[in-house]
Amino acid sequence: MPHTIHLHRVIKAPPERLYRAFTDPLAMNKWLPPHGFVGQVHEMDVREGGRWRMSFTNFAGQAVHSFGGEYLEVKSGARLRYSSQFDDTHLPGQMITTVVFKAVFCGTELSVTQEGIPDMIPPEACHLGWQESLQLLTLLVEPDIPNG
């Protein structure tokens, strides 16, 4: 039976900056791969019906995990919903990820729900990977570095 996980964070950055981190290929390369992996965005067409593709490479072992999907809902600065599917046939099925960005007095309340995680991936491993990614996301978006 596929799994579902829920994540919640309050991050000291405006919703627009967090949204940009989810929709900019260079930003995604930096923060989404969990510890021990490097990422590469191959395609990112951020619009409803647009496609995206990415891969994670295990830095120690060099194994590559490729995946991609379609943007199902795009509301700038407020909400993203997209499908994901692994290229690996041992990880079948389609996942749906919903990301909600809500402005709060100290930054943004970020809620992430990922549904349909393949049985081969223990939900706690997926949760741990997302926690590492969100830690990297926070380090990317919280600094308010002036243009210069």
Q: What are the φ and ψ backbone dihedral angles of 96, each rounded to 5 degrees? A: -125, 125
Helix, strand, coil percentages (3-state) for the chain, rounded to 5, are 25, 45, 30
**Residues 86-106 pLDDT 10s:** 998 888 889 999 999 999 999
H-type alpha helices, 4-119: 15-23, 25-31
Domain layout of the chain by residue ranges: 3-141
Torsional sign, CA 135, 78, 127, 26? negative
| Per-residue pLDDT tens digits of the chain, which is 148 residues long | 789 999 999 999 999 999 999 999 999 999 999 999 999 999 999 999 999 999 999 999 888 999 999 999 999 999 999 999 999 888 888 999 999 999 999 999 999 999 999 888 899 999 999 999 999 999 999 998 888 6
Q: Note whether 7 and 97 are within 8 A (CB).
A: no
The class of domain 3-141 in CATH terms is alpha beta
Q: Global pTM?
A: 0.94
Q: What is the DSSP letter of 147?
A: P
CA–CA gap between residue 82 and residue 32 (Å, rounded): 15
